[in-house]
Chain A
Amino acid sequence: MTRSAVLAAVGVAVAVVAALTACSTGDRVDLGGDSSGNLVAAIAGEPDQLDPQKTSAYFSFEVLENVFDTLVEPDANLEMRPALAESWTVSPDQLVWTFHLRRSVTFHDGSPFTADDVVYSYRRIIDQELANADKLSAVTGITAADPSTVVITLKQPTPNLLTNLGGFKGLAIVQRRNVESGEIATHPVGTGPFAFQSQKSGDSIILKANPTYWAGAPKVSGVTFRFISEPSTALSALQAGEIDWTDSIPTQRVAQLKDDDSITLATTASNDYWYLALNEARPPWNDLRVRQAIAYAIDRDAIVQATSYGTAVANQLAIPQGNPWYTPYDAYRHDVDKAKSLLADAGAAPKSLDMLVTNEYPETVTAAQIIADNLAPLGITVNIRTVDFATWLDEQNNGHFDMLMMGWLGNIDPDDFYYAQHHTNGSSNAQKFSNPEVDRLLDAGRVEINRNARAGEYAKAATIIADQVSYIYLYNPSVIQAWTTRLSGYEARRDGAIRFRTATLASGGAA
Chain B
Amino acid sequence: MTIATVETTRVASWRLLLRNPMTVVSAAVLGVVIVVAVAANWIAPFGVNDVDVPNALQPPSGEHWFGTDELGRDVLSRVLVATQASMRVAVVSVAFAVVVGVTVGVIAGYRGGWVDTVFMRVVDVMFAFPVLLLALAVVAILGPGTTTTILAIGIVYTPIFARVARASTLSVRVEPFVQMSRAMGTGNLYILARHIIPNIAGPLIVQTSLSLAFAILSEAALSFLGLGIQPPQPSLGRMIFDSQGFVTMAWWMAVFPGAAIVVIVLAFNLVGDGLRDVLDPKQRTMIEARSKQ
Contacts and interface: CB of A to CB of B under 8 A. Distances in A.
Interface in B194-247: 226, 230-232, 244-247
Contacts of A95: none
Interface string B110-129: 00000000000000000000
Nearest to A365: B231
A232 B226 contact: no
Interface in B35-54: 49-51, 53-54
A450 to B, nearest CB: 44
B43 to A, nearest CB: 21
Given A252-B245, A306-B53, A373-B50, A384 B70 contact: no
A299 B53 CA distance: 10
Contacts of A230: 244
A373 B51 contact: yes
Most A CB within 10 A of own CB, among B50, B51, B226, B244: B51
A372 B232 contact: yes
Most B CB within 10 A of own CB, among A250, A302, A386: A302
B259 to A, nearest CB: 21
B232 A232 contact: no
Contacts of A232: 244-245, 247
Interface in B65-90: 70-71
A301 B72 CA distance: 14
A267 B103 CA distance: 63
Contact of A366 (B54, B57, B70, B244): B70
A365 B245 CA distance: 14
A341 interface: no
Interface in A139-157: none
Contact of B49 (A231, A252, A369): A369
A359 interface: yes
A305 interface: yes
A105 interface: no
A257 interface: no
A368 B232 CA distance: 8
Contacts of B49: 369, 372-373, 376
A441 interface: no
Interface residues of A, number: 24
A305 B244 contact: no
A217 interface: no
Contacts of B232: 368-369, 372-373, 382, 384
A252 B51 contact: no
B249 interface: yes
**Chain A interface secondary structure, helix, strand, loop or mixed?**
helix
B246 A252 contact: yes
Contacts of B50: 373
B51 A231 contact: no
Contacts of A256: 249
B56 to A, nearest CB: 7
A313 interface: no
A384 B230 contact: yes
Contacts of A369: 49, 51, 71, 231-232
Contact of B70 (A252, A374, A382): A252
B244 A386 contact: no
A230 B51 CA distance: 24
Interface string A369-413: 110111010000010101000000000000000000000000000
B231 A302 contact: no
A302 B51 CA distance: 9
B149 to A, nearest CB: 15
A239 to B, nearest CB: 12
B8 to A, nearest CB: 46
A359 B245 contact: no
A306 B70 contact: yes
Given A305-B53, A305-B54, A370 B71 contact: yes
Nearest to A381: B232
Nearest to B49: A373
A384 to B, nearest CB: 6
Nearest to A230: B244
Contacts of B70: 252, 306, 366
B71 A359 contact: no
A369 B52 CA distance: 11
A375 to B, nearest CB: 11
Contact of B230 (A305, A374, A386): A386
Contacts of A306: 51, 53, 56, 70-71
Nearest to B51: A373
17 contacts: A231-B245, A232-B244, A232-B247, A256-B249, A301-B53, A302-B53, A305-B53, A306-B70, A366-B70, A368-B232, A369-B71, A369-B231, A370-B51, A370-B71, A374-B51, A382-B232, A384-B232
Q: Give the 10 A-B CB pairs with smallest separation, nearest first.
A: A302-B53, A373-B51, A250-B245, A373-B49, A305-B53, A372-B232, A370-B51, A306-B53, A232-B245, A369-B232
Given A305-B54, A365-B231, A370-B71, 18 more contacts: A230-B244, A232-B244, A232-B247, A250-B245, A252-B245, A256-B249, A302-B54, A305-B56, A306-B71, A359-B226, A366-B70, A366-B71, A373-B49, A376-B49, A384-B231, A386-B226, A386-B230, A386-B231
